[in-house]
Chains A and B, each alone.
Chain A
Amino acid sequence: MPFFAYPLALLGLTSIPVLVGLYWLRSRFRRHTVSSLVLWDEPQRPRQGGRRLQRFQGSLLFILELLVLLLFVAAAAKPMIRSGRVTRHLVVVLDDSYSLLAENDGSARQRAQEALEAELRDTPRFTARFLRAGPSGQLLAEAATDLRGVRRICQQWTCQAPAGNLTDALQLAHELAADQSHILILTDQPPPTIPEKGTVQWWSFGAPVANLAIVHAARSGTDAGDRCLVQVRNFSALPAASRLVVTTEDGATIREEAFSLAAGQENTFRWVPPAGTAAVRVSLPDGDALSIDNQVVLLPERAEPVPVRVDITGPRLRLAVQQALAAARIAETGPGRYRLLITDEPNAVADEPLAWTVSILAEEPPAAYLGPYLLDESHRLTEGLALEGVIWAAGRRQEVPGRAILLAGDVPLITDQQTDNERHYVRIRLRPELSSLTRSAAWPVLFWNLLEWRRRHLPGLERVNCRLGDKAVFVTENPNDEFVLVDPAGRQERLIPQANSLTAPADRPGIHEIRSSTETARFAVNALQPDESDLRRNGSGRWGNWRDEATLQREYRRIDWVFLLGALGVLAVHAGLIHRHSQMYRFGEAPGPDRKTAGRPG
């Protein structure tokens, strides 16, 4: 598609009113009354010829002069068209977040693909590489050189990601893009900053529409049985009403409730599913712009206790540990196989192959610490752990191996050492007789975290209800088996265990299944991202410009000479007409008389 390199030259179009004015002024006539028009006529000329010829000549000359002006102005504006001999290199960043599935006279994804195809359809030669922007950028391996290839690659653009990290993807695109490449971002939101001229164009195809979405869903096991919780939010500027329907996996309705929400309001629904209910499906059946966030599936969380062996000689400490284990209610301290050994032996080694070890070290000389304590908050053991006011007494006779989880100054109080086969060895420096820790709330919290952490690494799934974009971790005692992941659409994908665990992507909403010859486990994936469900900030538009000087020289060629040639041609025709006009005057065939009045009475 042609464009003008110097559109300011189009100001030359202001010369057109000047030309029109000249013609208008020239066409003003001095009124002069004559006795008769007889002597202003050519009696021998046929009546039909002159008038028509005169008008035709005048208007044609004007049109030609107008055309010449237009052609000169167009030439001055330096029109350019894309050269068909240059291959255009393009890196396309596809926003894979599920908000692009929102329907508003078609989805944003659909409009984006159509726009991309339209852009490339006008490009004779191109090479397009594609980056899918989910939580992180992912390069789609193929490069397309024709529209068929573009369509084939776009089939992988499913918009099932919980977020589109366009910043990371853009950075990756810059690394991929060569000097002569352009980057095109296809998304549904306006850019945070306008792209600078030259490399990047940002095309957005979203629409700010209302949406009612399930933003949180959970199912947890308690002493009283399963409990389900769902939060629904109204992402719009107007009140909304809908229904919440809960069904079993077989389709039986457990609960149905109509509700209404004010603009921006959120409502929480809680209920206890019938005992033995496997999957619970929750939906908002009335529908809205985005359907992916109108339904969730919740599987029952497993309540398997952690087999624990307590091997502590000190009575005070043993009592404190036993009380903490009892308070957590997820520990089983009976004889037999165990998965967690709690001991006060400094170098104790569990005789169970998958057991973790927690060694509580009573070292000399003791020192009492009042804080401040430094916690590694990314570790599961420190989750919710509050140590304000706690006196922690410990010795520091020797260095303890492993990653420091909790420190008092430069003294590690808790360390975590990961051994082979995914086993952990936790060391806790503690002199309980000099500490207030065992009498504080932090003590049962610490043991709850320890047991929960261990339970998640027991054979089976770490979590059965995942959010879209998470990874489902499955721990197995048979890593040599062959594992297959079956997604909600029935597609199968082989999983390769790493040590005793394997990781399955939670990239499709619905129930997934991990199968082997000896084990089967199911996990549910739900789209629960409020940022994606909130469509109010979406918009459409195109930002950025690829036409910098270098691009113009490389990909475009000037066609101003065509306009100049055209102008010269028109000028030649104009000159010819003028010449013919003057010849007609010379031979007495000048236009002018109104033949209808010729021969009238004088």
Chain B
Amino acid sequence: MRYRLQVPPAVPQGSTGILLGRGIASSLEFMDYREYQPGDDLRRVDWNALARSDKLTVKLYRDEIHPHVDLILDGSRSMTLAGSAKRPATLALAAALIEAAGNAGYRHTVWLIDRQCRQIPRGAEPPDVWEGIDFSAPVNPGAVLARYTPAWRTRGIRIFLSDLLWLGEPLETLYRLADRAAAVHVVQVLARADIEPPQRGNLRLVDSETGSVRDIFLDAAAQKRYRDKFTRHQQHWHRACRQVGATLTNVTAETFWERQRLDAFLAANILQVC
């Protein structure tokens, strides 16, 4: 089965590589008028209409979308959690999404967040020739993006693959991802061990990022507290994604690796079957 990347809510126009979205934006193709609202670009004010009706109206133009995908991978160590399928699942997901983008006529660039956000070597080529993806950086991806926001393609689609397990404000990261982007898809790849707490007993927790150690006694109450915190964490990201217009898709690495199915992306209108 072949998939292609869907541009929500855009319709591809022409074959020059320029796509016009269904949303309102700043392309040259006029779509409609509406009343001026604070914050609107004053360059879009229809001065003629103001002279005629003494009302401030702005012109609305069709959204202009570049057929380009920036795939951003979280290169931190937690993506290679021992005993989990996070790394292969992330790479397989990345390959599948890039393939789907190619099927929809998109070009792509692959970025890796380690100590900074950088393009991987041969990242514009098919996935089987990508180089330099090692998931070994002990970094906070949110903090890296805050310092090193790269020049992603304006009006392009940005796909961010990460486990989102770091301490920080999601909106801060998402604003940077969504800046002048046509669409942002956040794909959270989690291991089962991230979702479900371990069995009860004395645990020496080791942080896969930093190697920090914490000794705890895990009982039913502690397990419940973990689940509650995990749920709050997820809800926090979902809320932030809705706020910036991004989609958030949760993938369990082991499940995806076992079944190799992209149903969640179809359901989220990110992919469609060719």
**CB-CB under 8 A for A36 and B207, given A28-B202, A600-B167:** yes
* Pairwise interchain contact B203-A601, C-beta atoms closer than 8 A: no
* CB-contact partner of B216 in A31, A43, A592, under 8 A: A592
Encode contact with A along B239-263: 1 for CB under 8 Å, 0 otherwise: 0000000000000000000000000
**CB-CB under 8 A for A37 and B214, given A600-B167, A601-B139:** yes
A598 CA to B205 CA in the complex, in Å? Answer: 12
* Pairwise interchain contact A600-B216, C-beta atoms closer than 8 A: no
Residue B38 lies at the interface, judged by CB distance under 8 Å to chain A: no
* CB-contact partner of A29 in B204, B212, B225, B230, under 8 A: B204
Residue B50 lies at the interface, judged by CB distance under 8 Å to chain A: no
* CB-contact partner of A32 in B165, B191, B206, B212, under 8 A: B206
A127 CA to B198 CA in the complex, in Å? Answer: 75
Q: Which residues of A contact B163 (CB under 8 A)?
A: 35, 602
* Pairwise interchain contact B215-A36, C-beta atoms closer than 8 A: no
A11 CA to B29 CA in the complex, in Å? Answer: 96
Q: Which residues of A contact B210 (CB under 8 A)?
A: 597, 600-601
* CB-contact partner of B230 in A39, A585, A599, A600, under 8 A: A39
Residue B221 lies at the interface, judged by CB distance under 8 Å to chain A: yes
A578 CA to B238 CA in the complex, in Å? Answer: 39
Encode contact with B along A20-59: 1 for CB under 8 Å, 0 otherwise: 0000001111111111111110010000000000000000
Most central of A35, A590, A594, A596 by chain B CB within 10 Å: A35
A39 CA to B207 CA in the complex, in Å? Answer: 11
Instruction: List the B residue with the shortest CB-CB distance to A595.
Output: B214
Encode contact with B along A535-557: 1 for CB under 8 Å, 0 otherwise: 00000000000000000000000
Residue A402 lies at the interface, judged by CB distance under 8 Å to chain B: no
- What is the distance, in angstroms, from A588's C-beta to the closest C-beta of chain B? 7
**CB-CB under 8 A for A37 and B212, given A32-B198, A588-B225, A601-B140:** yes
* Pairwise interchain contact A37-B207, C-beta atoms closer than 8 A: yes
A373 CA to B222 CA in the complex, in Å? Answer: 112
**CB-CB under 8 A for A30 and B167, given A35-B81, A39-B230, A597-B210:** no
- What is the distance, in angstroms, from A401's C-beta to the closest C-beta of chain B? 109
* Pairwise interchain contact B222-A600, C-beta atoms closer than 8 A: no
* CB-contact partner of A602 in B86, B167, B202, B204, under 8 A: B167
Residue B154 lies at the interface, judged by CB distance under 8 Å to chain A: no
**CB-CB under 8 A for A590 and B222, given A30-B202, A34-B205, A601-B143:** yes
Instruction: List the B residue with the shortest CB-CB distance to A39.
Output: B229
- What is the distance, in angstroms, from B202's C-beta to the closest C-beta of chain A? 4
* Pairwise interchain contact B212-A602, C-beta atoms closer than 8 A: no
- What is the distance, in angstroms, from B206's C-beta to the closest C-beta of chain A? 5
Q: Which residues of B contact A596 (CB under 8 A)?
A: 212
Determine the interface band of chain B, counting residues with CB < 8 A from chain A. Answer: 35 or more
Instruction: List the B residue with the shortest CB-CB distance to A38.
Output: B167
* Pairwise interchain contact B167-A599, C-beta atoms closer than 8 A: yes
A393 CA to B205 CA in the complex, in Å? Answer: 122
Residue B12 lies at the interface, judged by CB distance under 8 Å to chain A: no
Residue B166 lies at the interface, judged by CB distance under 8 Å to chain A: yes
Residue B194 lies at the interface, judged by CB distance under 8 Å to chain A: yes
Q: Which residues of A contact B203 (CB under 8 A)?
A: 29-32
Q: Which residues of A contact B191 (CB under 8 A)?
A: 35
* Pairwise interchain contact B214-A592, C-beta atoms closer than 8 A: yes
Q: Which residues of B contact A148 (CB under 8 A)?
A: none
A586 CA to B222 CA in the complex, in Å? Answer: 10
Given contacts A29-B203, A33-B83, A35-B81, 16 further A-B contacts (CB under 8 A): A27-B215, A30-B202, A31-B203, A31-B204, A33-B205, A34-B193, A34-B208, A35-B193, A36-B165, A37-B205, A40-B226, A586-B221, A590-B225, A600-B207, A600-B212, A602-B209
Using a CB–CB distance below 8 Å, which chain B residues touch chain A? Answer: 76, 78, 81-83, 86, 138-141, 143, 163-167, 191, 193-194, 198, 201-210, 212-217, 221-222, 225-226, 229-230, 233
